Amino acid sequence: MKIGFNQINKHFGEVHANADITLDVQSGMIFGILGENGAGKSTLMKILSGFIQPDSGEIVLDGKAVSIETPADAIKFGIGMLHQDPLDFPPMQVIDNFIVGQRGGLILSHKDVIKAFRELQSQFDFSLDPDAYVDTLTVGERQQLEILRLLWLGARVLILDEPTTGISIQQKEKLFAALKVLAGQRKTIIFVSHKLEDVEVLCDQVAILRKGYLVGQVDAPYDTDQLVEMMFGKQIVLKELESVAQDKVVFELQDLYIEQYPLAIENVNFSLRAGEVIGLAGMEGSGQDVVLRACTGLLRPVSGRVIVNGTDLTGKNYLEFMQNGVAFLPASRLEEGLVPGLTLAEHFTVTTEDKQQLFIDKAYFRQKSEQMIEEYHIIGRPETPVESLSGGNQQRAALSLLKDSLSIILLEHPTRGLDIESTIYMWDKLKERCKLGTSIFFISGDLDEILRYSDRILVFFSGRVSPPLDSATVSLEQLGQLIGGKGWAKEFGDEETYEASTNP
């Protein structure tokens, strides 16, 4: 199906999210929509999928102007969308998720549907268990489920909004293979992303949005520098980084043993030096998050010791870790990191150490937050509630809330969902702190990020923790093998072998 956007406009308050966008997408191709966070990509796609209505403009399908009022209308026209946060029902079983919204008899009959489901998924080499509960699946598997569901409903156009965020490399490869199969079946794929490398390997053609405007359209093969310039309006150069690690040890783990069903992590011995950056690599659920949480007092180790600046803090709670200069930025910003419903100014009011009197000095904190907004380039105002900030801005806000003098910052996926510019900015800020002697301990699913920013790397594989690797001597391929459980024996001279002992 050929899709046309004709002078689409959409405002959210004062923000012009889509400005006069006119764009054509030919059928049977993988079409990329590229832009930084907040460029208006999701808005445009939500308009196409009927989730929101444009202020003006029209959608043209195969030459006919249509009105798409709801997602149900969109699916009638054969347009289905995978939202950035999968719109599925976590407590339900896979097969029930597949069925909800399908037409059919009053009483459910699972047998035939399961058969059809299995046939459909075999086309794409997916292996979802129809009886599994969705909350036990990974984000990648939930995407697979949504793809199958939309195809089953007759989607001929599939929109994917940032599908490569939060999924493993293997799942990404599977996803890309499936999308190529679909394009081969003359289906139209619209792939929305801020990740250049994904768009470059996958898309036949790409449109670039910036601040609500369509900047241009480019055919494959691409010139990366050109794409970057179109996305950001300027060239972005990666600076050379140097280690600023000092000799002083600020943090130690001794014989740590942690249990968090189904993982048991044994014998973690490790010391972190002032100003050092340590990356924790591994597939999601391999134990990185467990160790990180044990380092902050959020999870109590069964045995072993956690020593911060020479003080044994084993078994203490997060508050005491904080008082000893440890800070934690969790991956789920809105659930654990920030307080939804509170404004930026209110966040500074509750976290800042000065002016902690009974009555709030509104003027002071307003001024303080304006200063931080300026310093950390947060797009928002002191009275903006944090949940209405975009992901990148939420992350910057979380960073700006950290105290000045910290000895260790622990981060979970610090740049997940952020575009290159925000990522670079985030790390600039973190590195500034490293120069002042703050150490960083971070988890990332992005191996490039781990290699680029870490001084040393710990690899995790189903509860096993590697000895620290020097990031200067390890290659991307090696790291990729290790997180998949391969090459451990060779690398560490370990007697046990881990070859394919679990399914990624």
Q: Which residues contact other proteins by CB under 8 A?
A: 46, 49, 51-52, 70-72, 75, 81, 83, 87-92, 96, 99-102, 104-108, 259, 261-262
CB atoms under 10 Å from CB of 17, counted, come to 26
Shortest CB 52 distance to other proteins, Å: 5
- Tell me which residue has tokens 């390997």: 201
How far is it between the farthest Cα atoms of the chain? Answer: 71
Closest to other proteins by CB, 221 vs 262, is 262
Closest to other proteins by CB, 76 vs 377, is 76
The whole-angstrom separation of Cα 124 and Cα 144 is: 9
Closest to other proteins by CB, 75 vs 418, is 75
Closest to other proteins by CB, 28 vs 385, is 385
Shortest CB 105 distance to other proteins, Å: 7
Q: Is the peptide bond before 385 cis (omega within 30 degrees of 0)?
A: no
Closest to other proteins by CB, 83 vs 273, is 83
The whole-angstrom separation of Cα 5 and Cα 10 is: 13
Shortest CB 429 distance to other proteins, Å: 31
Contact 379, 390 (CB under 8 A): yes
For residue 378, give the DSSP letter: -
Shortest CB 298 distance to other proteins, Å: 12
Contact 10, 55 (CB under 8 A): yes
Half-sphere exposure of 396 (CA within 13 A, CB side): 25
Q: Which pair of structure tokens corresponds to residue 362?
A: 């509104």
Shortest CB 334 distance to other proteins, Å: 14
Shortest CB 50 distance to other proteins, Å: 8
The whole-angstrom separation of Cα 435 and Cα 44 is: 42
Contacts 24+ apart (CB under 8 A), 116-124: 116/152, 117/148, 117/152, 120/148, 120/151, 120/152, 121/148, 123/181, 124/148, 124/174, 124/177, 124/178, 124/181
Shortest CB 148 distance to other proteins, Å: 14
Shortest CB 23 distance to other proteins, Å: 22
Shortest CB 437 distance to other proteins, Å: 36
| Three-class secondary structure of residue 85 per DSSP | coil
Shortest CB 66 distance to other proteins, Å: 17
Closest to other proteins by CB, 105 vs 184, is 105
Closest to other proteins by CB, 161 vs 276, is 161
Closest to other proteins by CB, 81 vs 250, is 81
Tell me the β-bridge partners of 249. Answer: 273
The whole-angstrom separation of Cα 401 and Cα 344 is: 10
Alpha helices, DSSP H only, in 296-435? 318-323, 344-351, 362-375, 391-400, 420-435
Shortest CB 64 distance to other proteins, Å: 22
- Tell me which residue has tokens 């394919």: 500
The whole-angstrom separation of Cα 476 and Cα 351 is: 39
Contact 384, 344 (CB under 8 A): yes
Shortest CB 96 distance to other proteins, Å: 6
Closest to other proteins by CB, 95 vs 292, is 95
Contact 287, 485 (CB under 8 A): no
Of 423, 407, 18, give the one whose Cα is nearest residue 209. Answer: 18
Closest to other proteins by CB, 52 vs 241, is 52
Closest to other proteins by CB, 108 vs 489, is 108
Closest to other proteins by CB, 131 vs 361, is 131
Helix (H) or strand (E) holding 303: strand 303-308
Closest to other proteins by CB, 81 vs 203, is 81
- Give the amino acid at 504: P
**CA-to-CA separations, 194 to 198, 252, 416, 422, 495, in angstroms, rounded:** 9, 37, 11, 11, 42
Contacts 24+ apart (CB under 8 A), 485-489: 485/461, 488/461, 488/464
Contact 11, 176 (CB under 8 A): no
Shortest CB 1 distance to other proteins, Å: 19
The whole-angstrom separation of Cα 256 and Cα 263 is: 14
